[in-house]
Amino acid sequence: MASDSSRVALLGFGTVGQSVARILCSGEVPQVRLTHIFNRNVEQKRVDWVPASVCWTDSADEILASDTDIVIEVVGGIHPAFEWAKAALLGGKSVVTANKQLMAHHGTELIDLARSRGLEVRFEASVAGGIPVLRALQEGLAGDRLVEVRGILNGTCAYILSRMQSDAISFADALIEAQRAGYAEADPSEDVDGADAAAKLAIIAAVGLRRPVRVADIVTKSIRPIEPVDFEYARELGCTIRQIARASAEDSGAVFATVRPALVPLSSAFGRIEGSQNLVTVRGIFGGETSFSGSGAGGSPTAVAVVSDVLSVAARGDAGPADAPRTAFHQVSGDFVAPHYVRFTVNDKPGILSQITAAYAKFGINIEGVLQLPKFRKDRLPFVTTLEECPESVLDRALAEVARSDYHVQPPLALPIFS
């Protein structure tokens, strides 16, 4: 591959693809030349600011058969993006992608294939959009052994939760607002139930912690059960609530990974994240904590990450040595040990607290405090217990026992408290 003028083909001319093309056609990156743009119904996509030399096509095969050096995949989804990425590598082309689902589900296979052929798969934009976090973990922190990562990786959840926090509105109302503002899809499940952040966490775990994990093994919990009252009680504790993606690699070899709502201190960087901002904090055994924050989405920031990957591949020149396959997937547990917040909503009557404390005691869980704001109706009374550190699985067993009682108006809500 000629490093001073690599030929680049673009698969997908949507939000990110158009922003990538803008940069490649700007004259700012003479090291690479855009040769092809692929999209379905491509005639409807044509724009006049792309040079006439660029070939527009609705045939992916045309690109795969061409002499292009690097294929940029910004179509999205797992299929047929996976088949196209694989075919590109088999045809001797390196691949740059912004596709978290593709990399979370097939990244190991694609990277192995690329390495066996001295090619590259780059995917910086697949995690935290415009923040170059993967490169920072792989290169900037290569001298450390990273053992934990925590992140706010989903803008939809950050938007919804920060709106619930600031205006005391319900999840349903905040979601409608997020959809109107373009922060949430018509079907928001992937975002609010955790699958989107889990895919990104799987990529970070493989790159940063060097522990490839299956996305399906990451324990996810939805932000749907969060209510405005949880923000009131969280504030009493100096905290707010955010969807937190967390993974750790223990010395024992165990890997923990979850995506779930959690209490975080109001004064912390996590507590201050709103909208499409993302935050990733990693902890290494030598260097301690390092944080990265910035735009986690948006066409232009994401395109900068894509083009940076393209330039890096182009600068690397011809095939490097074939590399060994990566390690197999690690088993994952979601059973983090943490202090917890548990909100009960009960039809009040004497003896409820003593039953709950007895269940905690039975499972060896220590109560730190009880919070009850005075303004609520007795027949729908929310109150909170805060608990000292315990494994989530132990708390689940205690709550399963408590939940059998007839005074609950709705199931207890347990959230870890991350300091």
Binding ligand NAP (rule: CB under 6 A), the pick from 6, 8, 10, 12 is 12
Binding ligand NAP (rule: CB under 6 A), the pick from 74, 234, 314, 387 is 74
Binding ligand NAP (rule: CB under 6 A), the pick from 1, 3, 15, 179 is 15
CB of 233 to ligand NAP, least distance (A): 33
Is 46 a binding residue for ligand NAP by CB under 6 A? The answer is no
Q: Kindly list the catalytic residues.
A: 200
Binding ligand NAP (rule: CB under 6 A), the pick from 94, 99, 162, 240 is 99
Binding ligand NAP (rule: CB under 6 A), the pick from 98, 202, 203, 244 is 98
Is 183 a binding residue for ligand NAP by CB under 6 A? The answer is no
Q: List the interface residues with ligand NAP, window 267-326 (CB under 6 A).
A: 297-299, 302
Q: List the interface residues with ligand NAP, window 348-377 (CB under 6 A).
A: none
Is 13 a binding residue for ligand NAP by CB under 6 A? The answer is yes
Binding ligand NAP (rule: CB under 6 A), the pick from 35, 39, 154, 278 is 39
User: Residue with CB nearest ligand NAP?
Assistant: 14
Is 41 a binding residue for ligand NAP by CB under 6 A? The answer is yes
3-state secondary structure the chain: CCCCCEEEEEECCCHHHHHHHHHHCCCCCCCEEEEEEECCCHHHCCCCCCCCCCEEECCHHHHHCCCCCEEEECCCCCCCHHHHHHHHHHCCCEEEECCHHHHHHHHHHHHHHHHHCCCCEECHHHCCCCCCHHHHHHHHCCCCCEEEEEEECCHHHHHHHHHHHHHCCCHHHHHHHHHHCCCCCCCCHHHHCCHHHHHHHHHHHHHCCCCCECHHHCEECCCCCCCHHHHHHHHHCCEEEEEEEEEEECCCCCEEEEEEEEEEECCCCCCCCCCCEEEEEEEECCCEEEEEEEECCCHHHHHHHHHHHHHHHHHHCCCCCCCCCCCCCECEECCCEEEEEEEEEECCCCCHHHHHHHHHHHCCCCEEEEECCCCCCHHHEEEEEEEEEEEHHHHHHHHHHHCCCCCEEEEEEEEEECC
Which parts of this chain interact with ligand NAP (CB under 6 A)? 12-17, 39-41, 74-76, 80, 98-100, 125, 129, 297-299, 302
